[in-house]
């Protein structure tokens, strides 16, 4: 009757009143009136009160008193031992929790999947990753075998453990399962990255593309990666489109290298009109002569010869140009198209000082000379 009274108070959340009754029941005089089963129930309720007050250490001590009583029902002991293991884990006493849980496993003929996951988490915390993986694999297999969907966190624990042992094939299997049942951005991106590690570029691109189409890619680095994947797949138009839209959506960082990427992609796609403004911004945000030379190349492709010559001259003046000889060839072509043959010839001669461009230099100088001769002949015919 007194235990029932304490339970009623506990249900009403009068924990102090319930505890007072229980303390009296387990006093030296009170104990004598109770058998082991009744005493176990008193300690069990006391443990519950302590747990409700978040006094986990005291709750654990009371639960230990429950299983210390002789001749308690087996089901009660099994349930209490599992609770004890959980309380050790709550207090981050991982090894004690593992030991308590292993004892529970010995007593339980049909442990459930959740218990294997709890054990796996304990082993994970003490860095015994092989045992952690064995147990979480068991839990996942049990749930799948029963036609149930394992929890997302179970798959994630397995995924981490596969990564740790560099079993990327198994990690990919888990990620592909997560993509099907828990389709989040991180799983698409990580799976794409893993396919990249395996040098499987088509699948790497396909997964990033799927993530992009679902609107998952919202970081500058992700969109830049997407663009590079398209470039590697020889799809520069798509690369340019991704970066261009990223700028429009204010997702891609306003940096020279990103404008350069967009400009290069459009140039490779023969979209000169789209390439020019991107390369202009790239050059404007940089002190590198190389970018002005590349901008000059794009101007040349767009038949903007004056801008081409000015941009290359500026790049050569700034310095840091990787191939000054090639830059001077471009400069010569720009001047040639402007009809400034002397400047063109000087540029080609300067380019020819580098043996890598000597052949083209001679060819262009000869072409300039022949063009001058042709124009003189035309003038003779006209006058």
Q: What is the tens place of the pLDDT at every residue in 148-160?
A: 999 999 999 999 9
Average pLDDT on 50-62 reads 86
Does pLDDT of 227 surpass 60?
yes
Task: For residue range 274-315, list pLDDT tens digits in order.
Answer: 999 999 999 999 888 999 999 999 999 999 999 999 999 999
Does pLDDT of 21 surpass 70?
yes
d(CA 286, CA 278): 13
pLDDT top residue among 267 and 44:
267
3.40.190.290, 3.20.20.140, 3.30.365.10, 1.25.40.10: CATH of 287-383:
1.25.40.10
- pLDDT confidence of residue 20: 75
Looking from the CA of 153 toward its CB, the CA atoms found within 13 Å total: 6
Residues 6 or more apart from 221 whose CB is under 8 A from it?
A: none
pLDDT-based confidence at residue 15 (cuts at 50, 70, 90): low
Does pLDDT of 62 surpass 60?
yes
Share of residues in the chain with pLDDT > 70 (%)? 93
pTM (2 decimals)? 0.79
Tokens linked to 302? 């767009």
- 15 and 53 in contact (C-beta within 8 Å)? yes
CA distances from 164 to 101, 128, 157, 178 (A): 25, 11, 11, 18
Exposed, middle or buried by CB within 10 Å (0-12, 13-18, 19+), for 4? exposed
Tokens linked to 109? 């003929």
Q: What distance separates the 2 farthest-apart alpha carbons in the chain?
A: 136
- pLDDT confidence of residue 32: 65
- 9 and 17 in contact (C-beta within 8 Å)? yes
């Amino acid at each position: 009757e007194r235990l029932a009274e304490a339970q009623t108070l506990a249900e009403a959340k009068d924990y102090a009143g319930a505890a007072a009754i229980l303390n009296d029941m387990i006093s030296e005089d009170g104990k004598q009136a109770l058998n082991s089963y009744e005493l176990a129930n008193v300690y069990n309720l006391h443990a519950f009160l302590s747990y409700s007050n978040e006094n986990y250490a005291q709750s654990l001590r009371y639960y230990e008193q429950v299983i210390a009583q002789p001749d308690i029902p087996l089901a009660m002991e099994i349930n209490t031992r599992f609770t004890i293991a959980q309380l050790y884990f709550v207090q981050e006493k991982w090894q004690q929790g593992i030991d308590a849980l292993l004892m529970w496993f010995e007593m339980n003929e049909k442990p459930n999947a959740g218990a294997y996951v709890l054990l796996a988490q304990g082993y994970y915390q003490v860095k015994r990753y092989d045992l952690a993986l064995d147990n979480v694999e068991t839990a996942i297999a049990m749930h799948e075998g029963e036609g149930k969907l394992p929890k997302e966190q179970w798959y994630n624990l397995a995924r981490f453990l596969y990564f740790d042992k560099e079993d990327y094939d198994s990690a990919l299997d888990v990620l592909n399962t997560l993509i099907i049942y828990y389709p989040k951005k991180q799983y698409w991106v990580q799976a794409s990255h893993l396919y990249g590690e395996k040098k499987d570029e088509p699948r790497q691109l396909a997964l990033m593309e799927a993530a992009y189409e679902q609107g998952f890619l919202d970081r500058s680095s992700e969109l830049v990666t997407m663009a590079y994947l398209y470039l590697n797949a020889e799809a520069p138009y798509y690369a340019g489109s991704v970066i261009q839209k990223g700028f429009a959506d204010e997702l891609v960082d306003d940096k020279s290298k990103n404008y350069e990427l967009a400009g290069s992609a459009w140039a490779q796609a023969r979209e000169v009109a789209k390439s020019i403004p991107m390369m202009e911004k790239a050059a404007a945000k940089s002190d590198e002569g190389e970018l002005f030379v590349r901008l000059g190349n794009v101007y040349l492709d767009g038949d903007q010869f004056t801008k081409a010559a000015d941009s290359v001259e500026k790049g050569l003046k700034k310095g840091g140009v990787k191939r000054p000889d090639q830059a001077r060839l471009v400069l010569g072509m720009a001047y040639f198209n402007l009809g400034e043959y002397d400047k063109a010839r000087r540029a080609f001669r300067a380019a020819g000082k580098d043996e890598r461009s000597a052949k083209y230099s001679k060819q262009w100088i000869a072409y300039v000379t022949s063009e001058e001769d042709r124009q003189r002949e035309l003038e003779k015919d006209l006058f």
